[in-house]
Structure formats: C-alpha cells, structure tokens
Structure 1
Amino acid sequence: MEREIIDIAKRIFKFEEEDAGFFKFGDAYIVIANDMLSRSFDFPSKLLPKQIGWKAVTASVSDLAAMGAKPIYFSYSLGLSREEISFVEDLMKGIREALDFYGMKFLSGDTNESTELVLDSVAVGIARNLLLRSNAKVGDAVCVTGDLGRAYCSLLYLLEKVEEIEEKILEKFLKPVARVDEGLKLANIANSAIDVSDGLSKELNLLANSSGVMIKVFEDRIPIREEVLEFCTSNNLNPIEVALNSGEEYELLFTVSKDKLEDLDFEFSIIGEVSKGEGVFLVGKEKKPLLPAGWEHFSSK
C-alpha cells in the first residue's frame, strides 16, 4: 500500500522520486527531507526519549546525505498523548544533541495532541552537486558504506524476540549516525546514491528501477560484522537475509565508475555491478532475482 500511495502522489504532484525534494537556488540546490515516525511502528518501547529524538533527526539527515547535501536547518511536528508529556524534555534534548552533532540549527516546531507519539522531522540542506538515485550508469560498481544487519538484530532484541545481544550490535540501532561526510564526498565522484533506511534489497530495487538498469549483487561481498554472524548462528538466522532486509541502517548505497573508486577516501564495500537490463539479481551459488523486502508501511513487514 505504501508503494501505491507514493505512485498516486507522483501522478498528482508530478515529481521524480528521490531521497529528498530539491530546487535550484543560485549556483546551489536547497534540499528538503522529511520523515514521519510513530510509536507503533518506529519506536520500540525500550527506546529512551533521548534516543527517539536523536533517531528522528538522523532519519532525515540521512536522506540529505544520500543527495550529497550538507544539513543546515531542522524543524518538527510533534504529536503526543497526555501520558507522554513527562518525557518531552528528554526527547527535545535528544533532538538538540543530534543537531549539535550534525552542525544544524533549529528553525521551528509544532505540537498537537495525539493518540500516540508521532514525530515528523524536516531537515533542510544545501548541495553544490546533487546525487540522484536515477543516475546509475552501466558499468558502475555498486557499493555500500559501513556494515549491514545490526539494526535488524537489534530490533529482534528490543521486541523481545531474542534474549541476548552484544552491545556492539545494539549501539547502531540506539544511536545511528547518518553518513554526511561520505555523502558530500560522493557528490563529486559517484553517479547515484540512496540511503539504506528500509533494507538493502528494497533500496537496490529502487535504484535499479529509477535508473532503468540491472544490478547484480554478490552474496559474499555484502559487509556483515562478525558479531552479526555469531548472533545469526545463535538464533538460527540467515545472515545474508538479515543484511538484505535490515532497515534503519542509514548507510549509503551508491554506484560509481570503476575508474573513480580510488578517489574515495573512506571505508566502503564493492558489492556488485550495474549492467544493461532490468531488475536486481543476487549471485551466490546460483543467480536468482532479488525482490524488494525490508520494511514497508501498511504491510506489517
């Protein structure tokens, strides 16, 4: 249903689907990203108010990073039930801490009564060169920053599906960091990018569809930390499926010409390549279609 809603909006408002909206301003672009998060679907009950505030900022900033934009301003709309008034100060302290970390200024906010916590964040940034998900080129290397899977494992623990988890796994979910510096560098080098907020398999399909290309991803190149591998072994999970479906990672998935790979001065993994055609394929012992999974609203998945 989420996909259908987006398609309706695209038809009515006539826009290209990217990580954030943008418009030309002088010799630069103003980039605006917004994310709505709710208690029922985005904030496990074990998350502290400060952690919720931090995550709300990071979610929107990660979209700016995927567009190659420097974050500068932030605003929010906040819906609260009467029972949640008591933690508002800590929530706002979490927002303040994140704004300081990303070098952003607070612009404005709005508050209303709601049946549960709802936090809609808006981040504004500026970009000299835009990164788009619709510009992957045949022959590009497909790359991703950081590692994948820790957010999925953390969510299982916070939802009490498993009993134990290592702190190094949990820390990425509790205090994620948007790849702003990497995004700014990629804006001058990469051809396309998208942030991994709903799961690698879903983002790969969005990138391939938006660019009109085929993407092959090699199973053994997907970056998974040793702690995640051990967690999966202990809990009878397939680590590749975990990494492919792990949302809220806030890593950057990008494509870049192979002759420019040496120009990148940060850690990343080359996980695949762009070819002529359509769709996404996972290459392991055999080559098979990789359908979009990960998180999708209105599907309970």
Structure 2
Amino acid sequence: MDERHALESIGAWLPAAGDDAAVVGTNVLTTDMLHASTDFPAGVNKYTAGWRSVGASLSDVAAMGAEAAAAVAVYAAPEFDERELSDFLAGASDVCQAVGAEYVGGDLDTHEEFTVSTTALGRVDSPVRRSGAMPGDRVFVTGTLGRSALALSLFEAGETNGSDGGGRNDDESDDSESDGRNGDEREDSTIERANDLFRFTPRVAAGVALGSHASAMMDISDGLARSLHQLATASDCGFEIESPLPIDDRLFERFDSGEARYRGTTFGEDFELLITVPESAIDAAEARSLPVEVTEVGRVVTEGISFDGEGLPDRGYTHG
C-alpha cells in the first residue's frame, strides 16, 4: 500500500482529515516527513534540504489561507557533521524568514538514512478547505509548474554522487561545450543551479491574500494532474482545464513539448497553489496585489476532469 492509499484508508478514523493542514481553533497545524531516497536527489546540499523540508510544511499552511507563525524540524542522519547541520539550520531559518515565520528548533536523532520530519504552525480565522469548489468557479494556479522537474534533470546531469553544491542564479548558462571550464567545474555549476531551482518560496502571501475570495485551495505537491483529482474528490466536482498552462519555459528548452508538458503537470513538488474562485469574487481577487503571478487555467464543472477537451489521467507523485 502506497502513501496515497494509506491516507485514504485512515480517513474513516480521522473524519476531519483531508485538507493540507489540521485546523485547531484559529490555528492550523501540519507535519511532513522527507527521506534521502525519495525526496533528496544526489547533489542536494543541506541548505537546500533545510529550506525545502521546512518549506513543504509552510506550503501546507499557505494552502489553508493562513499566516505562517513557526516551524520545527527533526533532523536524523547516520552521523552528524557540524557544517552540514549548520547549513540545514540556515536553510530552515531562511525559508521561515522568507514568509514571516520563525524557525524555533526541533530535535536530532541517528538514523540509517538522512530523514527530516517537519511541523509548521499557522493562524487563520476562516481557513480555506479543499471541499468548497462549486461548478462555475474559475481555477487558478500561482507561479510556474515544472521547476522541480527541471531541477531533477539537472541533478541527474550533474552525476555528483553526493556532491554538496552551493547556490547560484537561475539564469546562468547551461552550455558545457565551450565555456572554458573543466568537467568538474561544469558539474558543480549544474548542481548549484539545480539546488537553486529546488528551493521554492512557499506561497503564504498569495494564500492569505486570496484566501478570503477562494472557495477551495490546496498546494500542488503531487503535480497539477493529481491535485485536480484530489480537489475533485474533496469537492465532488470536475474540472475543465485549458492551455496554456504556466509551465516553466526552461522545461521546453530541455525536452520536447510533449515531455515538457507531461513533466510540468505530473512531476509535482512545485508547491504552488491550486485555487478555485467563485465568479462573484473574481473582481475582488484580481484587485489584490500579489507577490507572484497567478494564471487562470480553467473552470469547475459538475463532473469529469479534462485538459484541452481530453480526459486528464490521475498521474503524479506518490511516496512509497
């Protein structure tokens, strides 16, 4: 049984479960676990690991329309390296700072595989759940899709066997044919850019700004296609999605159009927000000043999930 089916099986025991975070009064609480073998490709440095693991939980807070307050993490590894631990804490602290939250500590443990467990806390008066989408609502996505898919392709191209890359700007050249550098330098540059791409900004500000207008919201951690199916199940509805989707242009530079579109909609791990907004709230939502671009991608219908008129299969990221 994989993670998805395990979650479905415990739904009867936890009827309040099913959203991106649990609601406790005016607080939202969420937890995640990430492993080296499934979540951190070879080449991911500990700064990126700290940023990404804590960021994943902060993204769940964002999906509830909540302000992020604090986060903690459990860091488990076969042994502890002072520099790696320091880098991890720096990444965890920096992603919290980026969304106005505070990294307040956690725990250490020995484990045969590098593993991180994170918990984030947020606050909201009226949380946005997955179950509120209604036919006629319009569908929006924040940011761009495929950033993590692009990062993975660069990690694989780097072939680092665990090299600890740093951080570089996203727009650095990927040309390794005639740049005057030796193979190791080109490899390091590729891994540095991959780490840059693998770090994302949790959409807390967008979630808060749009939360009062949205009928439903969730983060796109398992890919757009799977997230649409999950939202359709929660809201008992369907979706008609249309091109163009906000897929990162760099995927089309690296892959043919079909493969780029497939990776952009199914790879997941982008942690953007999928939002439905009633027609009556569109003007107010569009009037909000947002720190990220938001793209309309379709509308809510009574049943079925289609993309450009064809059925959209339930494909995406699954643990286990």
Shift of 1:158: 0.8
Shift of 1:162: 9.4
Match of residue 36 from structure 1: 33
Match of 2:244 among 221, 225, 229: 221
Query: Do the aligned residues in 2 keep the contact of 1:57 with 1:98 (CA within 8 Å)?
Result: yes
Shift of 1:83: 6.2
Match of residue 186 from structure 1: 210
Note closer, same or farther for the CA distance 1:216–1:171 as it changes in structure 2 (3 Å cut): farther
Match of residue 17 from structure 2: 16
Query: Do the aligned residues in 2 keep the contact of 1:150 with 1:246 (CA within 8 Å)?
Result: no
Counting aligned pairs with the same residue, the percent is 27
Q: How does 1:270-289 map to 2 (within 5 A)?
A: 270-277=296-303, 279-283=304-308, 287-289=309-311
Q: Which has the higher strand share?
A: 1
Shift of 1:10: 1.3
Match of residue 3 from structure 1: 4
Match of residue 87 from structure 2: 90
Match of 2:141 among 141, 144, 148: 144
Moved more, 75-84 or 240-249: 75-84
Structure 2: unaligned runs, 5 residues or longer: 161-168, 172-192
* RMSD (CA atoms): 2.2
Shift of 1:159: 2.4
Residue by residue, what CA displacement relative to the aligned partner does 1:189-225 show, whole Å, maximum 9, x if unpaired? 111111011100010000011000011111x221123
Shift of 1:142: 0.9
- Equivalenced residue count is 285
1:49 matches 2:46? yes
Match of 1:250 among 257, 268, 271: 271
Query: Do the aligned residues in 2 keep the contact of 1:80 with 1:116 (CA within 8 Å)?
Result: yes
CA distance in 2, matches of 1:248, 1:84: 27
1:293 matches 2:290? no
Shift of 1:123: 0.3
Query: Do the aligned residues in 2 keep the contact of 1:141 with 1:272 (CA within 8 Å)?
Result: yes
CA distance in 2, matches of 1:123, 1:239: 32
CA distance in 2, matches of 1:225, 1:8: 35
2:133 aligned counterpart, secondary structure = coil
Aligned partner of 2:55: which letter?
Answer: T
Match of residue 69 from structure 2: 72
Structure 1: unaligned runs, 5 residues or longer: none
Aligned partner of 1:9: which letter?
Answer: I
1:156 matches 2:153? yes
Note closer, same or farther for the CA distance 1:255–1:102 as it changes in structure 2 (3 Å cut): same
CA distance in 1, matches of 2:312, 2:222: 15
Aligned partner of 1:257: which letter?
Answer: P
2:17 aligned counterpart, secondary structure = coil
Note closer, same or farther for the CA distance 1:78–1:242 as it changes in structure 2 (3 Å cut): same
CA distance in 1, matches of 2:209, 2:195: 25
Query: Do the aligned residues in 1 keep the contact of 2:47 with 2:91 (CA within 8 Å)?
Result: yes
Note closer, same or farther for the CA distance 1:3–1:30 as it changes in structure 2 (3 Å cut): same
Shift of 1:32: 0.5
CA distance in 2, matches of 1:18, 1:89: 33
Residue by residue, what CA displacement relative to the aligned partner does 1:14-38 show, whole Å, maximum 9, x if unpaired? 33300011122xxxx2000111111
Shift of 1:134: 0.9
CA distance in 1, matches of 2:202, 2:83: 28
Match of 1:167 among 163, 166, 170: 170
Query: Do the aligned residues in 2 keep the contact of 1:204 with 1:215 (CA within 8 Å)?
Result: yes
2:13 aligned counterpart, secondary structure = helix
Q: TM-score under structure 1 normalisation? A: 0.88
1:297 aligned counterpart, secondary structure = coil
Query: Do the aligned residues in 1 keep the contact of 2:46 with 2:85 (CA within 8 Å)?
Result: yes
CA distance in 2, matches of 1:109, 1:162: 32
Note closer, same or farther for the CA distance 1:162–1:89 as it changes in structure 2 (3 Å cut): closer
Residue by residue, what CA displacement relative to the aligned partner does 1:167-192 show, whole Å, maximum 9, x if unpaired? 34846633211111110011111111
CA distance in 1, matches of 2:31, 2:295: 28
Residue by residue, what CA displacement relative to the aligned partner does 1:134-173 show, whole Å, maximum 9, x if unpaired? 110110011101111121121122123899xx93484663
Note closer, same or farther for the CA distance 1:162–1:77 as it changes in structure 2 (3 Å cut): closer
Q: TM-score under structure 2 normalisation? A: 0.83
